[in-house]
C-alpha cells in the first residue's frame, strides 16, 4: 500500500515537471518563432557534435567513427558562448553518440545557461533511469531517437526490440519531449515496421515522425501505395510535432522535387567536432570555416546563396527552419567556399548515396 502510494507520488511528480517543462518550452519556442520572423541575422537552429565516436555502427551512416575522443568541455563551452553571441535560438547536440560524452550534462547546462533551447539526438542505447534523471536536471528540452526496424538486422541494431525498454523509461521518467523517428523508402525491408514503431511511441505518450531515405542512385524514389498510406498515417500521428507543417516531406514521399530556399550556413549551422561550420551533415566541407572566424557577413552571404542540392534535399530539420524565410530574400548568389582538403568529407558535387543520406541517422 505504502509502496503504491510512493509510486503514484513519483508519477505525479514526473507529470507535474513534464507539464511545467512542456509549457515553458512552448512559450520559448513561440518567442523563437517571433524573433525569427522579425530578424534574419541570427541562426535559428545549430547542430553541434561533442562526440564523433558511436557505440553502434549502422551500415548506412557516414556520421560516426569508433576512435575519436570527446571534445573537451572548455572547448564546447567556448563554441556555445560563440553561438549564443550570434543570437542562436536552438542547439541540438548530435554525434556520433552524445551520451558517450562524459560531461554531456554540463554541455546541456551551458546551453540553458545562455537561454537557448536544448535538444539532443541519440541512439538511446545508453539511457537508464538515472541517466534520464540527470538529463532532466541538466534542463534538456527535446530528445530524438531514430528507430529503423522492429528487430535488429545486419544494417541497424536500432530496433523496437532493443530499444523498447528505453522508450518505457523515457515515457515514465523524462520531463523533456521525446520524439521517435521511423524511416520509409528504399532499403527498408518492411514498411509496416515504421507504423508499429510510431504507434508504440504514441502509446507511451511520446511523439512520432517519419523520415524518407533515397534510392540506390541517390535520387528520390517515390514511395509505393502502401508506403504513402503509412507515411500519411504517421504524419497524422505526429500532431504535436512541427513536422506536420513540413509540406516538403509530402513531396519527397511522392518523389517530387521541391522549390525552397535552403538557409544552411546562416539560419542553420552544423558545427563538427573540429569546430568548423558546415552547411549540414550531408554537405560537410562547405564552407568549412572555424566557428570563431565565422562572421555575420559570412552568414548573410550564405543566407542569399542558392544551394544546388536543395530541390532533392531530404534533410527535414533544415527545411523546417527554411519555412521561416521561404517567403523573403530570394537567393541570387553562388557558393564560393571550397571543400576542406583531406577531411574525407561529403562531396557536394553529387547527390548523397543512401548510405550518406542520413535519413535514418539518430
Ligand atoms: S543537403 Fe539540404 S540542408 Fe544540406 S545544404 Fe543541401 S539543401 Fe541545404
Ligand atoms: S546512425 Fe546513429 S547510432 Fe547508427 S552509427 Fe550513425 S551515429 Fe551511430
Q: How far apart are CA 213 and CA 62, in angstroms?
A: 14
Q: Per DSSP, which regions of the chain are E strands?
A: 45-51, 90-95, 117-122, 142-147, 177-185, 207-213, 268-271, 276-278, 287-290
pLDDT at 177: 96
Q: Which of the listed residues 310, 331, 351, 356 should we mutate to test ligand 1's pocket, taking the one with most ligand atoms within 8 A of CB?
A: 310
**353 domain residue, yes or no:** no
> Of all atoms in ligand 2, which is nearest to the CA of residue 57?
5
Residue 143, Ramachandran bin (φ over 0: left; ψ between -120 and 50: alpha; else beta): beta
pLDDT at 234: 87
Residue 50 CA, ligand 2 centroid: distance in Å: 14
Q: Return the bridge partners of 117, or none.
A: 90
**274 domain residue, yes or no:** yes
CA–CA distance from 254 to each of 142, 163, 223, 232, 258 (Å)? 29, 30, 6, 11, 11
pLDDT at 211: 83
Q: How far apart are CA 45 and CA 61, in angstroms?
A: 22
Q: Is the dihedral of CA 54, 59, 62, 65 positive or negative?
A: positive
pLDDT at 178: 97
CA Rg value for the chain: 20
**60 domain residue, yes or no:** yes
| Closest C-alpha among 231, 239, 219, 249 to residue 319 | 249
Q: Which of the listed residues 97, 126, 159 should we mutate to test ligand 2's pocket, taking the one with most ligand atoms within 8 A of CB?
A: 97
**348 domain residue, yes or no:** no
Task: Tell me, using a 6 A CB cutoff, whether residue 58 lines ligand 2.
Answer: yes
pLDDT at 312: 81
pLDDT at 250: 76
pLDDT at 215: 52
In the numeric block, the cell 527545411 is attached to: 319
**342 domain residue, yes or no:** no
**359 domain residue, yes or no:** no
pLDDT at 81: 98
**337 domain residue, yes or no:** no
Residues 6+ apart with CB under 8 A from 123: 54, 55, 56, 97, 145, 146, 158, 362
Give the ligand with the smallest distance to the CA of 126. Answer: 2
Residues 6+ apart with CB under 8 A from 64: 52, 53, 54, 56, 57, 95, 96, 97
**72 domain residue, yes or no:** yes
Give the ligand with the smallest distance to the CA of 278. Answer: 1
> Of all atoms in ligand 1, which is nearest to the CA of residue 262?
8
CATH for 188: 3.20.20.70
| Closest C-alpha among 134, 213, 212, 220 to residue 169 | 134
Residue 127, domain extent: 2-322
Task: Tell me, using a 6 A CB cutoff, whether residue 86 lines ligand 2.
Answer: no
CA–CA distance from 43 to each of 110, 115, 257, 270, 330 (Å)? 18, 14, 26, 11, 18
Give the total number of structural domains in the chain. 1
Q: Which of the listed residues 257, 315, 347 should we mutate to test ligand 1's pocket, taking the one with most ligand atoms within 8 A of CB?
A: 315
Task: Tell me, using a 6 A CB cutoff, whether residue 95 lines ligand 2.
Answer: yes
In the numeric block, the cell 523509461 is attached to: 169
> Of all atoms in ligand 2, which is nearest to the CA of residue 60?
1
Q: How far apart are CA 58 and CA 125, in angstroms?
A: 13
Q: How far apart are CA 196 and CA 149, in angstroms?
A: 9
- pLDDT tens over the chain, length 362 residues: 666 666 688 788 999 999 999 999 999 999 999 999 999 999 999 999 999 999 999 988 889 999 999 999 999 999 999 999 999 999 999 999 999 999 999 999 999 999 999 999 999 999 999 999 999 999 999 999 999 999 999 889 999 999 999 999 999 999 999 999 998 876 678 889 999 999 999 999 999 988 877 654 444 567 888 888 898 888 887 655 555 555 677 777 777 788 899 999 999 999 999 999 999 988 888 899 999 999 999 999 999 999 998 988 878 899 999 999 999 999 999 998 554 444 444 433 333 333 334 444 65
Cis peptide preceding 344, ω within 30 of 0 = no
Give the ligand with the smallest distance to the CA of 59. Answer: 2
Amino acid at each position: 500500500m505504502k509502496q503504491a502510494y510512493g509510486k503514484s507520488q513519483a508519477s505525479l511528480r514526473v507529470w507535474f515537471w513534464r507539464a511545467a517543462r512542456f509549457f515553458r518550452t512552448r512559450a520559448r519556442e513561440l518567442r523563437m518563432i517571433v524573433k525569427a520572423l522579425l530578424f534574419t541575422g541570427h541562426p535559428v537552429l545549430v547542430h553541434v557534435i561533442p562526440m564523433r565516436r558511436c557505440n553502434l555502427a549502422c551500415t548506412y551512416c557516414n556520421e560516426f567513427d569508433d576512435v575519436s575522443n570527446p571534445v573537451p568541455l572548455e572547448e564546447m563551452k567556448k563554441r556555445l558562448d560563440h553561438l549564443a553571441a550570434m543570437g542562436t535560438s536552438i542547439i541540438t547536440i548530435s554525434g556520433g553518440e552524445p551520451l558517450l560524452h562524459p560531461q554531456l550534462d554540463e554541455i546541456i547546462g551551458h546551453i540553458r545557461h545562455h537561454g537557448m533551447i536544448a535538444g539532443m539526438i541519440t541512439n538511446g542505447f545508453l539511457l537508464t533511469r538515472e541517466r534520464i534523471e540527470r538529463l532532466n536536471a541538466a534542463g534538456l528540452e527535446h530528445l530524438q531517437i531514430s528507430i529503423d526496424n522492429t528487430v535488429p538486422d545486419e544494417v541497424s541494431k536500432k530496433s523496437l526490440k532493443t530499444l523498447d525498454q528505453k522508450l518505457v523509461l523515457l515515457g515514465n521518467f523524462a520531463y523533456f519531449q521525446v520524439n521517435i523517428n521511423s524511416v520509409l523508402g528504399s532499403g527498408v525491408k518492411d514498411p509496416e515496421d515504421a507504423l508499429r514503431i510510431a504507434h508504440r511511441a504514441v502509446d507511451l505518450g511520446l511523439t512520432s515522425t517519419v523520415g524518407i531515405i533515397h534510392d540506390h542512385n541517390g535520387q528520390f524514389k517515390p514511395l509505393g501505395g502502401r508506403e504513402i498510406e503509412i507515411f500519411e498515417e504517421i504524419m497524422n500521428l505526429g500532431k504535436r510535432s512541427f513536422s506536420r507543417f513540413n509540406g516538403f516531406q509530402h513531396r519527397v514521399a511522392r518523389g517530387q522535387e521541391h522549390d525552397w530556399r535552403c538557409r544552411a550556413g546562416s539560419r542553420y549551422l552544423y558545427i563538427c567536432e573540429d569546430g568548423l561550420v558546415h552547411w549540414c551533415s550531408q554537405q560537410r566541407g562547405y564552407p568549412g570555416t572555424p566557428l570563431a572566424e565565422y562572421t555575420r557577413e559570412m552568414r548573410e552571404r550564405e543566407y542569399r546563396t542558392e544551394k544546388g542540392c536543395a530541390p532533392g534535399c531530404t534533410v527535414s530539420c533544415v527545411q523546417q527552419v527554411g519555412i521561416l524565410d521561404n517567403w523573403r530574400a530570394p537567393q541570387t548568389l553562388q557558393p564560393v567556399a571550397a571543400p576542406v582538403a583531406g577531411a574525407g568529407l561529403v562531396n557536394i558535387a553529387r547527390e548523397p548515396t543512401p548510405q550518406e543520406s542520413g535519413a535514418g541517422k539518430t
